[in-house]
Amino acid sequence: MVNDAPSQHEPLVLNNNGAWCWFQDERALIDPANNSLLLGSVAAPEGPGGLERGGNIEVAVLDLATGECSIHVLHERLEADDHNAPALLIRPDGRYVAMYAKHKTDNYSRWRVSTRPHDASAWEPEQQFDWTELADGRGATYSNLHRLDAEERVYNFVRAINDDPTLLVSDDDGSTWSYGGKLFTRPKIGYVNGYTRYVSNGVDRIDLITTDHHPRDFNNSIYHGYIQGDGLHDAGGTVVGKPVIGSAGVNQMALTTVFEAGMTLDGDTLTHGWTTDLRRQGKELAAIVTCRANDVNGPLQREQMLDVDDHRLLYARFDGVRWELHPLAVAGAGLLPHEQDYTGLGAVDPNNLDRVYISTPVDPRTAVATAHYEIYRGVTSDAGVSWTWEAVTEDSSVDNLRPMVVPGDPSVHAVCWFRGSMKSSQAYETEVVLRLTRRT
């Protein structure tokens, strides 16, 4: 029996001051060994604690049995920016690894390892990997931790050299790190190259979806490939780059196209794709993509940014052979005036690819605009062709943004998001909340 429908009770506040970007993973996880949930976020000076807390890199730990929650600080006042949220990993010995970086304002990937197994209350001193010589002073951003048991190796995917997706590797489960090469590269257009989401089977394969550049600067398509056996493959298994370790990088256009810029879907012309979420079950993958709909502006000029008023969430499903792309929901106008491609985002349930959670200011049940961004749960019985929707939040007084479904224990269904006011990635007054149900 499964009892995980959206409940109407008030969600639990995990952290009264926190937010995250969506290009770090895992930002949250469940540790079944001690029945706890860990969630990383960044505090802002606008929230509780003010300037003394702003920029703290924090991990909230919830005891799922007692409901008690504690906050542990990994780095005090590092930088007030949601891009700096930590990625978390449970090592085979039960100790935690947390990695985080600033948002292109220095050249370090930072990490800490917990001193005891299954205990986030104490951590070894922070260590740093210095990208300065490799990255020519461009700075580092993001952390994405994936352990492949068959290789006994941990990968950390970072945006670094040439603002490309780049990797660090560790053969001692995150105690030390070395440069692993570049994943993708091409001449940079605008801000950065390639926004990439990753998911692994935990054994021998890491799948990914990636863009060309930033959607503000380029009409992005989205591509899929995977890393296995030190080779980068397209979706069909053709090797497009080998070895991966030590590579100078390949052009992501060598991968399989999932979303093609300018495509038409249900009568809408879709452009400027952005990667949002990626999850897998067995051989299948599910992804959420955001894009602009019927954008008549073409390349944007600064004075046109407010004209981007119609975004869409799309659902992509890979059955192990081919991708199918379907409309998911209307995502509304740009979330922030200076970030015209930001939306409320969405998340795929890692334990059920037929279930998603989205944040949108347009009710997907009625197509009626709401006063604030609300969270909705969607369920499909035909691999994304059609959806039924239920409200997780309704009639909210603030925005509800960036949901994620926490992996780590299939018997626990935990949906997190943050709610409040967001003016930019560096200025927000938001709290982290959770809705929790048990599968029995």
Average per-residue pLDDT for the chain: 94
Strand order, beta sheet including 284-293:
263-265, 268-281, 284-293, 311-318, 323-332
Cis ω on the peptide bond leading into residue 243 (within 30° of 0)?
yes
Mean of pLDDT values over 281-299: 87
Q: How crowded is the C-beta side of 82, counted as CA atoms within 13 Å?
A: 22
Query: For the chain, how many helices (H) and strands (E)?
Result: 2, 32
pLDDT digit string, tens, across residues 407-420: 999 999 999 999 99
E-strand spans in 294-426?
Answer: 311-318, 323-332, 346-349, 352-362, 369-379, 388-391, 399-405, 412-424
Whether 3 has a pLDDT exceeding 60, the answer reads no
C-beta atoms surrounding 82 within 10 Å: 24
Residue, of 308 and 322, whose pLDDT is higher = 322
pTM of structure = 0.95
Q: Please give the helix or strand (H or E) that residue 240 lies within, else none.
A: strand 239-241
What are the boundaries of each domain within the chain? Answer: 12-438
* Residue 317 CA to its chain's centroid (Å): 18
> Which tokens belong to 232?
């980068």
Instruction: List CB contacts of 398: < 8 A, sequence separation 6 or more.
Output: 372, 419, 420, 421
Distance CA 294, CA 292 (A): 7
Residue type, 72: H
Q: What percent of the chain has pLDDT over 90?
A: 92
pLDDT digits (tens, 9 = 90+) for 155-189: 999 999 999 999 999 999 999 999 999 999 999 99
Mean pLDDT of 381-405: 98
Mean pLDDT, rounded, for 67-86: 98
Task: Domain 12-438: give its CATH superfamily.
Answer: Prolyl oligopeptidase, N-terminal domain (2.130.10.120)
